[in-house]
Amino acid sequence: MMNTNTQPKSVAALTLGAIGVVYGDIGTSPLYTVKEIFGSATGIALTQANIIGAISAIFWLLMMVVTLKYVILVLRADNRGEGGVMALLALAVSTASNAPKRKKILLALGVFGAALFYGDSILTPAISVLSATEGLELIAPSFKPLILPMSIAILIALFAFQQFGTATVGKLFGPIVIVWFVTLGAIGLTHVLDNPSILQALNPLHAFNFLVDRGAGVFLAVGAVVLAITGAEALYADMGHFGKPAIRIAWSCIVLPGLALNYLGQGALLLTMPEAVTNPFYLSFPQELLIPAVILATLATIIASQATISGAYSITQQAIQLGFLPRMQIRHTSASESGQIYIPAINWLLLAAVLTTTIAFQNSSAIAAAYGIAVTGTMLITTILTFFVLRHSWQYPLWLALGATSVFVLLDTMLLASCSVKFFKGGWFPIALGISLVIIMWTWKQGREILLQHIHDNDPKLEDFVSMVMHERKARIERTAVFLCANADTVPQALMHNLKHNQVLHKTNLILTVAFADIPIIEKEQRITMQEIGAGFWKVKLHYGFMETPHIPKALEDCKIENVKIDPFSTSYFVSRETIISGHGGKMAKWRDDLFALMSRNAGSVVSYFNIPSNSVIELGTRVHI
């Protein structure tokens, strides 16, 4: 009986959380979408046919992309319960071990998708907060000069609050987002009742005719309509936090009805009062409710921003574990929820980028041009990776895998092409940012491979070294030494330096490597693998999933070695720290060598990353030419 009672409650709680976090971004799209469709940049005349057609296009795009693609199809492609482009990449790549060319293409796609997601994380806070505060101008034109300073103040406060964790803001704003969606639906319904002819928009033929009538201008129209689905990627990225049932229930029962009614209501308002096109969202509210509407919208945009900022932390952690970014300090902000993390370096870099974007673009309409490319690019990459998962991971027949994804590939390609029309009006920004981040991520991954090859090329084999130790009488001390290394088959640099300079060996020596799997979480029973070599040497390998934060001392507590107790107070951790010296004639261009050396110097400490007590660490340096 207890189970049946608690299960609905837990799903209800997760659904509340999903509404507050997952749908914050897409939930604020009504603030600017309809306004942008009929803006001067698209040249779409404000006629009855165009109004009905535009609202029809929005409605059916929500149904096709969000409901059919994400809620029904893509949510099925989970990596042990985790979602997002990096989790999907790990799932797709795991099937390509015997196809190096395919693996390389998939890695390139996944890395670029992650890079575009960072662009989304920069643009979402900027456009959302600006579009909310622009309602001040409707309250009183004299408030217009306050829009930009107030937006900047809100953004600074938002990023400064991140260090306290998302749990507090989620609990506080979850109910407010429900009020937001109920308000969207209620205010939309009042206008639909005033002018029911807008219900013709539910017929997809009106969307088709609207797009066909645009002719060559169809790309401009679609590029504006696509703003209605910004934030759809968050459904998939946040799946690990809330689960499929909660995300699907929230969309079907609250989010979709609220959005659909509001867009229909804005269309009905324009049919009745065309002059409201300057800001159909805010002008749909009665004058006496305008101030509460601005306050509510501002709170909603803060939550929309929170979703993408949290997503940036998660995708950074996954990229670090998969070897695409250097180590960074990761703080866990919740004792019960492992996914709630805070990465200071990413937080402040995002804030700097968001403020720069806000000041440079000045208003939400200008940012809207750049926004669509980041969103649609990530969507297209997600669809392509989903095909490879269906075909190669789940072994679906080719016809079925193609049938399930080809329509969405065509749709996503059209959406991306439409947004690309705005390339010179701001669309270049996420592309330039994406290319820069791809270069950084690829340089780090390739540089690490070259570095490890240089380090271990001339290192003696571990087994040979242990055999030599067995026949030599080296001084031994009654302690345990843990040598962290990337390759357990060769003698760690730190061990060589310790023996050379201190002329001693510890009684117990653990040659420790840490491996990150392409699944989110490793079961505790599978955490440790060990192999005894002899002469007091053991190879120890710790396994972690890409969503886990490694804690070496805690893991070693479960390391069972006969007659050996790994006491945290008498165990020494030896770490080798490389100083990179770049030069000409390497495997990478000189400027990439320099970039890798710079990232290596500024990488987070391996000590804090692996949660090793700093007073138990001996760090030995080595210079490596690449």
Note the pLDDT tens digit of each residue in 202-220: 999 999 999 999 887 888 8
User: Between 258 and 10, whose confidence is greater?
Assistant: 258
User: Model confidence over 349-394: pLDDT tens digits?
Assistant: 999 999 999 998 888 877 877 777 888 888 899 899 889 888 888 8
pLDDT value of position 614: 83
pLDDT value of position 8: 45
User: Model confidence over 181-192: pLDDT tens digits?
Assistant: 999 999 999 999
User: Model confidence over 594-610: pLDDT tens digits?
Assistant: 898 888 888 877 888 88
Q: Copy the structure tokens of residue 512.
A: 């420790």
For residue 158, pLDDT beyond 70: yes
**What pairs with residue 625 in β-bridges?**
581
Q: 614: which DSSP letter?
A: G
Range 474-489 average pLDDT: 84
Lowest pLDDT segment from 430-444, 463-477, 543-557: 463-477
pLDDT value of position 2: 35
Strand order in the sheet with 571-581: 528-534, 537-544, 504-516, 475-484, 571-581, 617-625
- The SS3 of residue 482 is strand
Average pLDDT, the chain: 84
CB atoms within 10 A of CB 332: 13
User: Model confidence over 6-40: pLDDT tens digits?
Assistant: 344 477 777 877 787 778 778 888 988 999 899 88
pLDDT value of position 196: 96
Q: How many residues in total does the chain contain?
A: 626
Q: Copy the structure tokens of residue 79.
A: 């990596």
Range 496-510 average pLDDT: 83
pLDDT value of position 48: 94
Q: Copy the structure tokens of residue 50.
A: 């165009």
CA distance 439 to 598: 14
Give Cβ neighbours of residue 142 (< 8 Å, ≥ 6 apart). Answer: none
pLDDT value of position 93: 84
490 contacts 460 by C-beta, under 8 angstroms:
yes
β 475-484/341-342 pair status? unpaired
Identify the band that residue 171 occupies on the pLDDT scale cut at 50, 70 and 90.
Answer: low
Phi and psi at 358, nearest 5°, equal -60, -45
CA distance 589 to 571: 42
Tell how far CA 451 is from the center of its chain.
Answer: 28
Q: CA separation (Å) from 438 to 234, 430, 499?
A: 21, 12, 41
Crossing angle between the packed helical segments 290-321 and 85-93, to the nearest 10 degrees = 30
Q: What percent of the chain has pLDDT over 90?
A: 26
Helix (H) or strand (E) holding 618, with range, is strand 617-625
Tell how far CA 327 is from the center of its chain.
Answer: 17
For residue 533, pLDDT beyond 80: yes
pLDDT value of position 550: 87
pLDDT value of position 166: 60
Q: What percent of the chain has pLDDT over 70?
A: 93
Q: 231: which DSSP letter?
A: T
User: Between 506 and 239, whose confidence is greater?
Assistant: 506
Q: Which of 51-65, 459-473, 609-623 has the highest mean pLDDT?
A: 51-65
**What pairs with residue 301 in β-bridges?**
none
- The SS3 of residue 519 is coil
Give Cβ neighbours of residue 324 (< 8 Å, ≥ 6 apart). Answer: 111, 114, 441, 442, 444, 445
CB atoms within 10 A of CB 189: 17
Lowest pLDDT segment from 42-46, 80-84, 123-127, 147-151: 80-84
For residue 4, pLDDT beyond 70: no
User: Between 499 and 46, whose confidence is greater?
Assistant: 46
Mark 115-139 as b/e (b = at least 16 C-beta within 10 Å).
bbbbbbbbbbbbbbbbbbbbbbbbe
- pTM of the complete model: 0.76
User: Between 220 and 169, whose confidence is greater?
Assistant: 220
Residue 527, sorted as left (phi over 0), alpha (psi -120 to 50) or beta, turns out to be alpha
For residue 5, pLDDT beyond 70: no
pLDDT value of position 498: 81
Domains and CATH numbers, the chain: 11-310+340-423 (1.20.1740), 453-625 (no CATH)
For residue 543, pLDDT beyond 80: yes
User: Between 516 and 173, whose confidence is greater?
Assistant: 516
Range 344-353 average pLDDT: 92
